[in-house]
Amino acid sequence: MCDLELFKIDLHRLDESGETFHFDLDNSFFEALDASEVRGGDLKATVEVRPVTHGSFELQFHAEGTAVVSCDLCLDDMDQPIIADGMLIVRFGDVEAVQTGGDTDGGDIVVVDENEGIVDVSWFIYEFIALAIPIKHVHEDGECNPEMVKVLGGYMSGGSQEHNDGQATDPRWSELEKLKTIIKD
């Protein structure tokens, strides 16, 4: 199991010039976050923390590697190459005031209690990775689960083909199939 404590950065202990943190993300990282979009992976992530002003920090995120996501076509797991970058501003402030709707600047700004001074970057890393996943992700040609492709082919071919349960296709679909033919021509 991944120790998410490693992703907590103490902003009070940073050098004046900033610091760079390196993380190896594997399946245990994604399991620990219990996130649904990414099922696993093998990525290298860096978080560069740089003080901007007193009590304000800029965090530059970069992650590169392979994430495991489900194929949109056959629903089997597939490896998706990922290159993710992002930026976040962290500043010290009154966290309770922000949560109740006051004193917020909006945008990509995270407010951290100055007495605590710790920011957990694990979820931010995950979000930047998830945002880098293409909207459509499918296996390369010929790599999808052949059984699922066969089942999908039966549903997509139309006509009066019988389904696995022995029932014929509803005749109303035949009329809609005519529209597909008209649109193709």
Chain segment 33-68, per-residue pLDDT in tens: 988 889 899 999 999 999 998 889 999 999 999 999
For the chain, the domain total comes to 2
Q: Are 43 and 102 in the same domain?
A: yes
User: pLDDT (tens digit, 9 = 90+) per residue, 138-156?
Assistant: 998 888 988 888 888 777 7
Contact between 131 and 84 (Cβ < 8 Å): yes
Assign 130 to helix, strand or coil.
helix
Q: Are 169 and 92 in the same domain?
A: no
The model carries a pTM of 0.76
Q: Are 152 and 120 in the same domain?
A: no
